[in-house]
Amino acid sequence: MTIDELRATLTADTPPDVAPPLKALWHDARGEWDEAHRIAQDIDGKDGAWVHAYLHRKEGDLGNAAYWYRRADQRVASDSLDAEWERIVTALLRPCPASAGLPSET
């Protein structure tokens, strides 16, 4: 899936079949912050922490956001929220190195 394909699903009633961090960002893009945050709270690891940081930054809770950026091993973002959303989605959509070079399932 590409970022444009993800954006194209934002008018659907349900999110696409994507990993939880992307599902949280999908809900966020639809203005469903509470649902995005609920999903992000249940995600372990750096990806979840990054999404969680972004959501608290968007909420205006910069102290809590800073905590989650540290957990994500990311610098505190200072660009626009839209730019950060795109950066996170782009990073999460990249294939993981372990799958590089493997044939795709068709």
Q: Is residue 44 part of a domain?
A: yes
Q: Is residue 9 part of a domain?
A: no
Q: Is residue 58 part of a domain?
A: yes
Contacting residues for 45 by C-beta, under 8 A, at least 6 apart? none
Q: How confident is the model at residue 95 (pLDDT cuts 50, 70, 90)?
A: confident
Q: Is residue 99 part of a domain?
A: no
**pLDDT digits over 42-89, tens only?**
999 999 999 999 999 999 999 999 999 999 999 999 999 999 999 999
Cα separation of 24 and 104, whole Å? 26
Q: Which residue in 55, 18, 54 sits closest to 35, CA to CA? A: 55
Q: Is residue 2 part of a domain?
A: no
Cα separation of 80 and 60, whole Å? 13
Q: Is residue 8 part of a domain?
A: no
Q: Is residue 43 part of a domain?
A: yes
Predicted pLDDT at 97: 55
The pTM score is 0.87
- Domain hosting 32: range is 17-93
Quote the number of domains for the chain: 1
Whether residue 100 has pLDDT greater than 50: no
